[in-house]
Amino acid sequence: MEDDLVKQQMEDKMVEEEFQSLLDSYLSTKHRKKVEIITKAFNFAKHAHKGVRRLSGEPYIMHPLAVAKIVSSEIGLGSTSICSALLHDVVEDTDYTVEDIENMFGAKIAQIVDGLTKISGGIFGDHASAQAENFKKLLLTMSDDIRVILIKIADRLHNMRTLGAQAPNKRYKIAGETLYIYAPLANRLGLNKIKSELEDLSFRYEHPDEYKAIVNKLADTQTERNTIFDSFTAPIRKQLDAMGLSYEIIQRVKTPYSIWRKMQTKNIPFEEVYDILAVRIVFTPKEPAAELNECFDIYVGLCKIYSSHPDRLRDWVSHPKANGYQALHVTLMSPKGEWIEVQIRSQRMNEIAEKGLAAHWKYKDGEKTETTAEVELDKWLTTIKEILDDPQPDAMDFLDTIKLNLFASEIFVFTPKGELRTMPAGSTTLDFAFTIHTFVGSHCIGAKVNHKLVPINHKLQSGDQVEILTSKSAHPTREWLSYATTAKATTKILAILRREERETSRRGEEKFFAFLQNNSIPRDSVTIEKLCKLHDCQKLEQLLIAIGEGKVQLGPSDVSQLKEKKTQSWRRLFSFGNKTVPSLPFFDDHAEQIDRKKTVMLTDESIRSRYTLAECCRPIPGDAIMGYIDDNNHVVIHKVKCPRTQILKSAHGNRVLSAEWDTSDIAEFPVDINIKGIDNKGLLLGVTKIISEMHDINISKLNVECENGLFDCNVQVNVHNTKDVKNLVSAIGKLPDVKEVSRV
């Protein structure tokens, strides 16, 4: 009993210290000091969550306190947001209502808490429709009050910081949706520091071995980087001192996730990632009006010391990114012959880059100044609302459409009258047409870019002047979806196509049911499944459209196929792996017995009988893997780093299972290896001897291309595990003329 009392006193002290830390954080800001209402919100939340604990074992109130502190110190919001963060779980988890919150704390805090409650429990629910619906709620509440999503991002950041307490399958789900949705959202709202931490935490839990390896290598090379940084910046400091500037020079190191992404996309080892080190100059302008000029004065000063790369000057000062980011980026040649990026920012620019424009947007000291970036943020929110007016019926399509709008790498394009418009990088003339009006987009036949005629799929560049050409006879087709890159254009094209397809589907449905009735064929799921398979359609809707368009003609051959004795088992009517299967419900015997909280163990027998290895990534023993329960309740095994799993974890996180290998070295698995080198006589012979003779491994496919003296070979081999692959790659890499070897 006495021990319980001591423990309670220690916990009470811990909670009070955490609250005091929150107050200290708030009092150090420029916000008005509304300590009383924050204290009131803390006491109310503490009472409401009394006796409740998190999975980690600590009192639940520690979570709202942590979220409130992130909101205050890392995002820079004021008392309204801090109170809302403290209260964000009260309505969801206790008997108190939004009306209770409004009576005690006012309408604004109640509105934000209500917005957070609507999207509680994570974005995604148990079913596809619920997932899309919850994400719509998130975006709708964001467009009403940006603070809702800022607090939600803070909530997710603390959950990620404490993710170790969750079960493995939950960790995959939460890390997956964080990387797929929350990190891009944070980036779009200018929360660069939080975006980077969310990415790193997701990487740490999804790929723990790779994360640890990169962190260790960063630590091992830190001394070398410090030496390079000191020698590179010494003459820069001398130059800036001579200019009479007040400044700070910071060493910026690429994050583990960014390094890993570069290693994956470029297929290079850690040692070949050359832009790990960058330099950031943060200066205090002599006067606010001179801020922009001083950025360029510093740039000119740097170019007196080092040679600059002519194609790597990025002027985000004159043209800020849509998320408010401003800086001047220049890449300079170091004395050791390496390119080093230097970022030039004022104190104001640096604060916005770290904490995001949204922290200042319309809520700071009641000011309502409209900067260019704030106008862009308004435009972005308007675009989100337009997408919500006509969302994709499928959760995956809906998420993908929204994702198109989250990445904010921009180009600047001009209308014929000289009006500046910001577009995502990679935008086409068709995308630009839909920004003008849906009618213009849907009747676009081409454009004049810089007075030259171009097609609708022409990719625009910064500085282009674009005049859209239209025709009443022009009409959107499915092919247009491959030309559109923005969410707005894709959404509008799909909406037009769906209207037309509904009419086509109706015609196809009439023909389909007339065919069944005339031939006395039962209208059941077996019939539908078999007809879909016969005509290579994934679901009934596609079959009906194909019939309506006249691409599929149902006739005597279909009748004979359908009336054959059905000897195939249900399982053979479905295709597994990474293929999409018909959406009709199907349950096999073992699927209902799957315990989603337990780790799936892959044995030689279970791989043959119960589980399917995904064709998209083809995992083998030794790969980090996860399971996914598909639409037919069949478990498909993917590599954790498979690009498709990122979407699956985000949209269908409740179907994700943790999985591990428990196989012998008897079974063989196909693996593709790519070899690049100098095309010299005997190289192919050397490669095949290493595989077949030295390692006794069977070659199942071989494709060689030699051009301009270069050798490019793709070979498929059958191996037992990743150790075999590693040994093989190492041995082939030692051949004199081989320059690159990698598993595909």
Q: Which residues are the active-site residues? A: 92-93
SS (H, E, C) 523-581: CCHHHHHHHHHHCCCCCHHHHHHHHHHCCCCCCHHHHHHHHCCCCCCHHHHCCCCCCCC
Residue corresponding to tokens 């074992």: 57
Distance (Å, whole) CA 15 – CA 3? 18
Query: What are the structure tokens assigned to 457, written together?
Result: 């799929």
Closest alpha carbon to 525 in 578, 498, 564, 562 = 562
Count CB atoms within 10 A of the CB of residue 87: 26
Handedness of CA 280, 284, 288, 294 (dihedral sign): negative
How far the first Cα of the chain sits from its last, in Å, is 61
Query: DSSP letters of 250-271?
Result: EEEE--HHHHHHHHHHHT--GG
- In the three-class reduction of DSSP (H, G, I as helix; E, B as strand; rest coil), residue 513 is classed as helix
Across 372-432, the runs of DSSP E, i.e. the strands, are 410-414, 420-424
Give me the phi and psi of 10, to 5 degrees please: -65, -40
> Closest Cα to residue 145, out of 110, 183, 178?
110
Q: Confirm if 86 and 45 have CB atoms less than 8 A apart.
A: yes
- What is the rounded radius of gyration, in angstroms, for the C-alpha atoms of the chain? 29
Conformation bin of residue 451: beta by default, left when phi > 0, alpha when psi is -120 to 50? left
Going by C-beta distance under 8 Å and a sequence separation of 6 or more, which residues neighbour residue 512?
Answer: 543, 544, 547, 554
Which among 531, 559, 530 is positioned nearest to 544, based on CA atoms? Answer: 531
Does residue 166 sit in helix, strand or coil?
Answer: coil
Q: How many CB atoms lie within 10 A of CB 339?
A: 15
Q: What is the 3-state secondary structure (H, E, C) of 625-673?
A: EEEEECCCCCEEEEECCCHHHHHHHHHCHHHEEEEEECCCCCCCEEEEE
Rounded Cα distance between 571 and 124, Å, is 29
Cα(543)–Cα(54) distance, rounded to whole angstroms?
Answer: 50
CA dist., res. 461 & res. 426, Å (int) = 8
CB environment 133-168: b (16+ within 10 A), e (fewer): bbbbbbbbbbbebbbbbbbbbbbbbbbbeebeebeb
Residue 150 vs residues 183, 271, 349, 368: alpha-carbon distances, Å: 12, 37, 20, 19
